[in-house]
Structure 1
Amino acid sequence: MAESVIGKKSFDFAVNIINFYKRFSSEKKEFILSKQILRSGTSVGANIREALNAQSTMDFIHKLSISQKECDETIYWLELLSATDYISKEEFESLKAPATEILKMIRSIIITTKNKTHNS
């Protein structure tokens, strides 16, 4: 089975989040916020993976909805870290841009799937 674009992007994003967590926790010695972003940032791809293996269309939408929330939460933590000068603007943008792209893709997939479901 060919790998989905969103599956690949979310996996790559999770790898970047893990690497960010390792640097951030060791350099800044900050463990609360870094754990939050680690959890939400890696959960995005995990829920997308679950959605790709969903048992029904409703299950697919539900798993993607969870992924959407986790992605938006990750952006929140990034914004918080940026606003409090824990991370540079460059580091913020390097993580926020792919998170925003993934979030838009998830939302688009959910809307398209709901429209197809309602029109069938």
Structure 2
Amino acid sequence: MNRYILVCTALILASCGKNQADPNKESNIMLEEPLVVAVDSAAAGKHKGLALIEGADCLTCHKIETRVVGPSYQEVADKYTEADMDMLATKIIDGGKGNWGEIPMTPHAGMSRENAIKMVEYILTLKK
């Protein structure tokens, strides 16, 4: 019986001892999130339209100077003028095909007309 009490006491004392934290051990304690600073694209010197293009899926099919699935932005700028801005903004929102081949452009129905216009404005700045 004395042996049982001695073993229990030893276990209790061992479990109450100070444990040093292992820095490699996983923990469920959340650390403070890093501070994320939002950058205004205009303040960063970037055209608002370019920032919108980079934030959407546009660069999957279009590049500035290289034809990928669709025409390059340089080709679009060389073909169209400011008079075509509404038509191009509608193409971004509604999609379409035929102007650059038979591969259809995916519609972006959730995009606002204002943002589509800003994208077109940027693209037309590439005119040579």
TM-score by length of 1: 0.31
Greater RCO, 1 or 2 (C-alpha within 8 Å, sep 6+): 1
Higher helix share: 1
